[in-house]
Structure 1
Amino acid sequence: MATQTSRYAISATVRLPYPEAVERTREELAREGFGVLTEIDVAATLKKKLDVDFRPYVILGACNPGMAHRALSAEPDIGLLLPCNVVVRAGEREGTSEVLAMDPEVALSLADNPEVAPVAKAVGEQLRRVVDRVAGSAPA
């Protein structure tokens, strides 16, 4: 299931082809109350701007409005750290993908505001559930 692959990333390798992993990630984000505000197709952008090939890779800018409101109410500048980025990229092995979410406890700790910490913790728990459910969505 989800692991902490870097100080700021919650991730899992899933047994789903890339398009299915993107779809499942969107579904699980919605299930946790997140909407996708932005989507960056990194591979297409790199091809268009630099004419380089890159594995399929998308950055989803996810936002849970209720949690965002709580964080913004406690710390108006926290908008600089929102929304939560979720990455889906094609895995190293065929038929696999990697799903990563930013760890909001790490990112929002920059605010050094004790009122933001519980929001960051709650959002982190939601994002871990998203990654875990996407990872568990395919047959073993």
Structure 2
Amino acid sequence: MFHYTAETTANVQNAIAALETSLKEEQFGVLWRFNLCDKLKEKGFDFEREYVVMEVCNPAEANRVVSENALVGYFLPCKIVVYEADGKTKIGMPKPSALMNLMQDDALRSIAADVEARLIGCINQAANP
């Protein structure tokens, strides 16, 4: 499976706050937060559910992977999405290992597996505080 998703009973804003806290513990920062609902409404579309895309980065890990292969920058920064669906809040991401498998490089796969495990840990911690 190319993605990982966890569910929580927290609302989107509380899930984001918990996620940001857990990300900081793993030295990931939030570079950008995009509120899809607000943007679509601004453009005249009726989109009512909360849907926030976050781009996160750990500078040390980004340096490691881009130093190994500059094309990895195509996959950076990592994205995590927090949104409402089916009466629950979901927190998910594309798996870094799935993306790095495209590079067919064992060193990159190892780094991606480590980053993925840490991000899944952050997501799980935010979903189940």
Q: Give the TM-score normalised by structure 1.
A: 0.87
1:43-62 counterparts in 2 under 5 A? 43-62=37-56
Counterpart in the other structure of 1:4: none
Identical columns (%): 25
For residue 106 of structure 2, give the secondary structure of its aligned residue in structure 1.
Answer: coil
- The separation in 1 between residues aligned to 2:45 and 2:18, in whole angstroms, is 29
Counterpart in the other structure of 2:125: 133
Please state how far the C-alpha of 1:92 moved relative to its aligned partner: 2.0
1:31-110 counterparts in 2 under 5 A? 31-93=25-87, 96-110=88-102
Consecutive unaligned residues of structure 1, counting only runs of 5 or more, are 1-6
- The separation in 2 between residues aligned to 1:115 and 1:73, in whole angstroms, is 11
- The separation in 1 between residues aligned to 2:128 and 2:57, in whole angstroms, is 23
Which residue identity lines up with residue 86 of structure 2 in the other structure? E
Q: Give the TM-score normalised by structure 2.
A: 0.93
List structure 1 runs of 4+ shifted beyond 3 angstroms.
none
Q: CA RMSD in A?
A: 1.2
For residue 130 of structure 1, give the secondary structure of its aligned residue in structure 2.
Answer: helix
